[in-house]
Structure 1
Amino acid sequence: MADPAVLKQLRESLKGLETGGFRRRPALPFGIPAIDSRLADEGLRLDALHEVAAGTSDMADDCAATLFLAGIAARAWGPVLWVVRRRDLFAPGLAQSGLDPKRLIYAEAKDDAELLAVMEEGLRHRGLGAVIGEAKRADMTATRRLQLAAEGGRTIALLMKRAAREGSDPIAMPSAAVTRWRVTCAPSTPLPVAGVGRPRWKLALARQKGGEGFETIVEACDATGRCALPPVMADRKAVAGGTAPRRAA
């Protein structure tokens, strides 16, 4: 019989060849224990669909949700496909959240149905680090197709849900997404002098499979795509004996 250690090493070598030398992580952590510890997968599952919506119809919240998506994609591996309905993405803004424009592939869809189809095709390609789309209507069937397309790969699927009509809740409709988030602007970091400090967001996990929802305040993504706990919150946890570094590792 072959040595079990040799067989194990062979399996690991074959696995590396099958994935192009990459070892697929099961999840993409935020690097903030206060958030990762409350997620069922200790991060965002890479082979899954995640939905994000602005907390209100205000343009500032819409931008915050967009930058939140950019930060997640920035921390994923490889090229990123971003499918849009309108040409309103601002590349320098995405870069400030860590997403290098050189990694981006843009696709423009004529309607939500075409957008979801392009996303599905991108997920099945297996050569992308993230696939992002922005849609008003994506029912259970459509989101289930995206979830199935993502499963078994290492391409995270990110769907930004926009309100179908004024005052409606973008993530009220049933969905197959593993996590569903709302992002709302919060008062920026105070400065000792006149000016505007680092932006802050209220992240609300409205739903997750295998866990409970929660809300927290974070400082917006930096140039590496990482959020951070505000200093007061981080200091409070440190005093209480917890481990909550201000910036993600």
Structure 2
Amino acid sequence: MTRTAANPVIAELRERIQHLEGPATRRKSVLPFMVREIDECLPGGGLTYGAIHEVAGGGAGTVDGAAAALFVAGIAARTTGQLVWCLTRPDLFFPALAQAGLHPDRVIFVEADKEEDVLGSMEEALSFGGLGAVVGELVRLPMTASRRLQLAAEKTGTLGLIVRRWRRQTEATDYGQPTASATRWRVGVIPSEELPVPGVGRARWFLELMRVKSGECAEFEVGACDASGRIAISTEPGNQKNQGRSAFAG
């Protein structure tokens, strides 16, 4: 049962507030994917600003982890203004980010020695405000830390994006632990779109919306981010091996 179904009074109050705010305010409060099937699953029709959202690869391999990073890069690319990307492993492959619509000249990269420093840098950047988005790469996200990030995001209305990266398979189990994130996603690589001529078509992902506040879980097969950061519902099953660029160098 969703939260909306369990709290009809709260749902009614939320609808009244949205009506008073008007459509212009509602449009500014979320970042839509501009994909009907996905936006219909998200409260307000998109990713909520002033909230944090988690994304992880669908498997333990580097390829799925890179897909998660590119998915986040595409989301960040569709925001306005400078971005802060906090990380401990400086292995991002800039041409791949640019291919997903995120040009490095928009990004301020903050490298830290420990994940605790990544959390601190994210919280400071979210509290600063005026940024398109704040991205952080983390293995673990404790509930207390996620609440601090959520409160900082709410304070300024900044979009917080967290890429969960595993160093070993056993760490992936932490992704099932509860956090304060508004949404939780998982991205897996599937065969690319088939072309009528020899070659490799658009990369494709299996996208799972694993958790969403006041919404329902869902699964989608999508074409990977294009040069404007947009994804699209895939219409072809494809049978080619995916050879899209990795988000990580090496």
Flag whether TM exceeds 0.5 (same fold). yes
Superposed CA deviations along residues 191-213 of structure 1, whole A, max 9, x for unmatched, are 11222110000110111110111
CA drift of 1:138 comes to 1.5
Distance across 1 between alignment mates of 2:102 and 2:189:
20
Candidates 80, 83, 87, aligned match of 1:84: 87
SS at 1:231's partner residue? coil
Question: 2:108 matched to which residue of 1?
Answer: 105
Map of 1:1-249 to 2, 5 A cutoff?
25-163=28-166, 165-167=168-170, 168-232=172-236
CA drift of 1:38 comes to 1.1
SS at 1:72's partner residue? helix
SS at 1:73's partner residue? helix
Give the aligned residue type for 1:30: F
Superposed CA deviations along residues 38-61 of structure 1, whole A, max 9, x for unmatched, are 112310001100000001011110
Change (3 A) 1:35 1:190: same
Q: Could you tell me whether the CA contact under 8 Å between 1:164 and 1:170 is conserved in 2?
A: no
Task: Give me the TM-score of the superposition, normalised by structure 2.
Answer: 0.81
Distance across 1 between alignment mates of 2:51 and 2:222:
24
Distance across 2 between alignment mates of 1:187 and 1:169:
26
Structure with greater helix share of residues: 2
Distance across 1 between alignment mates of 2:156 and 2:166:
30
SS at 2:28's partner residue? coil
CA drift of 1:94 comes to 0.3
CA drift of 1:232 comes to 4.5
Distance across 1 between alignment mates of 2:155 and 2:123:
14
Q: Could you tell me whether the CA contact under 8 Å between 2:194 and 2:236 is conserved in 1?
A: no
Superposed CA deviations along residues 144-176 of structure 1, whole A, max 9, x for unmatched, are 000000004232000111236424334211100
CA drift of 1:85 comes to 0.4
- Following TM superposition, the consecutive aligned residue runs of length 4 or more in structure 1 with deviations greater than 6 angstroms are none
Question: 2:16 matched to which residue of 1?
Answer: none
Give the aligned residue type for 1:79: Q
Give the aligned residue type for 2:147: R
Q: Could you tell me whether the CA contact under 8 Å between 1:24 and 1:154 is conserved in 2?
A: no
Give the aligned residue type for 2:81: G
Give the aligned residue type for 1:123: L
SS at 1:41's partner residue? helix
SS at 1:207's partner residue? strand
CA drift of 1:102 comes to 1.0
CA RMSD of aligned residues (A): 1.7
Change (3 A) 1:121 1:106: same
CA drift of 1:220 comes to 0.3
Report sequence identity in percent.
50
Change (3 A) 1:173 1:23: closer
**Stretch of structure 1 that moved more, 199-208 or 165-174:** 165-174
Structure 1 regions of 5+ residues with no counterpart? 1-21, 234-249
**Equivalent pairs, count:** 212
Give the aligned residue type for 2:84: L
